[in-house]
């Protein structure tokens, strides 16, 4: 009996996800249209819709005036007022936080300067937990059920456990980030909210696919434009992770034998030639301190580089164009192996894009094996420094639709006064 009950519950949960996804795709739509699209009978659909409405995921939005025969059907839409998903990105010099509703529309978007490299792992984890706690209890999310939190890190990630295996630019190794965050959130009185940890480039790619300027491009690569360079790869709209989840580490492609030393310990890596740290040291050498750049340095130095390049300063322009050429060579390797239809440059590459992009495109076309780089376009992101956080939040909504997250519990009706 228990086994049969479990099987029925599993089937029902699967069907709830199917109906939720169908309403997302067809809304505004009637119950009859959902039944037709899913192959479920009308009685089952009606029961599932009632369940989804009790959980605050679907609402009725009016009647279908286009229906010509029989009683007008009541139309359904997603309920955008009841839940929230949160994404947070930690990088060398900032935290970025985004919260979205069920329609993936932004509710919160904040950029918090934070020197994570200098802070160290434990202080950074506490700051991340505090920022998440503050976000989850923010009045902007008042009355909403948080369905999940996703944390993006520039690192090799063991996704099932949420462990940061190696984050060279942060100095973290074998950090059980998910477990620590759950523990610290419980200390702040927040329990039962699923937490995931993923690579920042992977989540940036998800954001570009779902809500970026080139949304819907199913085969794309997203390059983080930070001190580190990682690539998030999508094939057919799904992340390409590799056997161990470590695919996309293009920043450590060795491009120049005996080139500058990289944070990974190698030499001549793409990251050491075209990462933001490397670019700034060449572009504005008189302004860069003789030490690893801190969280307070990078954004200000990027502004200086943009200003000088705009004024035609030869040192700055030459450095940016050289870096763009190295980016193009690195992308040619990526294009040869994965053949994306689109590469999106994100992060700090965006403000430097007017000088990086032309040589990057030229070198990619000249170096890639396929003519015209296999038709791959190279463009700048419109999502700024919030791409990975936005991708994390939207990934949680996608997981909810796909039945990979628990649905919110049914709401208990308030008794009339």
pLDDT of residue 7: 60
pLDDT of residue 243: 85
pLDDT of residue 246: 83
Delimit the CATH 1.10.10.10 region(s) of the chain: 2-78
> Domain 2-78, CATH 1.10.10.10 — does that match?
yes
pLDDT along the chain (417 residues), means of 10: 54 91 96 96 96 96 63 85 97 94 96 91 97 96 95 94 93 97 94 95 96 95 92 94 87 94 91 95 94 80 97 98 98 95 97 98 97 96 95 95 90 52
CA distance 228 to 169: 7
CA distance 340 to 410: 42
> Domain 83-202+389-401, CATH 3.20.20.80 — does that match?
no
Delimit the CATH 3.30.420.40 region(s) of the chain: 83-202+389-401, 213-382
Architecture of domain 213-382: 2-Layer Sandwich (3.30)
Enter the pTM of the model.
0.90
* 227 close to 242: Cβ distance less than 8 angstroms: no
């Amino acid at each position: 009996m228990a086994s049969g009950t479990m099987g029925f519950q599993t089937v029902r949960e699967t069907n709830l996800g199917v109906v939720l996804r169908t309403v997302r795709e067809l809304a505004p739509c009637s119950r009859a249209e959902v039944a037709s699209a899913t192959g479920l009978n009308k009685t089952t659909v009606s029961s599932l819709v009632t369940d989804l409405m009790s959980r605050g995921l679907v609402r009725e939005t009016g009647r279908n005036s286009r229906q010509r025969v029989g009683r007008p059907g009541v139309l359904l839409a997603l309920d955008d007022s009841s839940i929230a998903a949160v994404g947070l990105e930690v990088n060398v010099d900032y935290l970025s936080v985004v919260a979205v509703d069920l329609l993936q529309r932004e509710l919160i978007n904040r950029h918090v300067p934070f020197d994570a490299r200098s802070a160290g792992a434990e202080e950074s984890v506490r700051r991340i937990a505090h920022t998440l706690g503050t976000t989850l209890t923010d009045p902007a999310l008042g009355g909403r059920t948080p369905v999940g939190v996703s944390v993006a890190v520039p690192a090799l990630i063991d996704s099932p456990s949420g462990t940061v295996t190696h984050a060279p630019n942060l100095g973290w190794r074998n950090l059980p980030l998910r477990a620590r965050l759950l523990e610290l959130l419980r200390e702040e009185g927040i329990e039962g909210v699923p937490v995931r940890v993923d690579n920042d480039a992977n989540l940036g790619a998800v954001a570009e696919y779902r809500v970026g300027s080139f949304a819907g491009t199913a085969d794309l690569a997203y390059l983080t434009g930070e001190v580190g360079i990682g690539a998030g790869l999508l094939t057919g709209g799904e992340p390409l992770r590799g056997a161990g989840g470590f695919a996309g580490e293009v920043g450590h492609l060795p491009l120049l034998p005996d080139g500058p030393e990289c944070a990974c310990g190698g030499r001549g890596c793409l990251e050491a030639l075209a990462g933001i740290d490397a670019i700034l040291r060449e572009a504005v050498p008189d302004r860069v301190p003789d030490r690893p750049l801190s969280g307070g340095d990078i954004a200000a130095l990027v502004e200086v580089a943009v200003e000088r390049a705009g004024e035609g300063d030869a040192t700055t322009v030459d450095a940016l164009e050289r870096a763009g050429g190295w980016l193009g060579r690195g992308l040619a390797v990526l294009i040869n192996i994965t053949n994306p239809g689109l590469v999106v440059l994100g992060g700090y590459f965006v403000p430097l894009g007017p000088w990086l992009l032309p040589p990057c495109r030229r070198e990619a076309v000249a170096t890639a094996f396929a003519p015209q780089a296999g038709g791959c376009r190279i463009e700048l992101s419109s999502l700024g420094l919030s791409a990975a956080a936005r991708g994390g939040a939207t990934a949680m909504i996608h997981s909810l639709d796909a039945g990979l997250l628990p649905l919110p519990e049914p709401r208990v009706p308030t008794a009339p006064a």
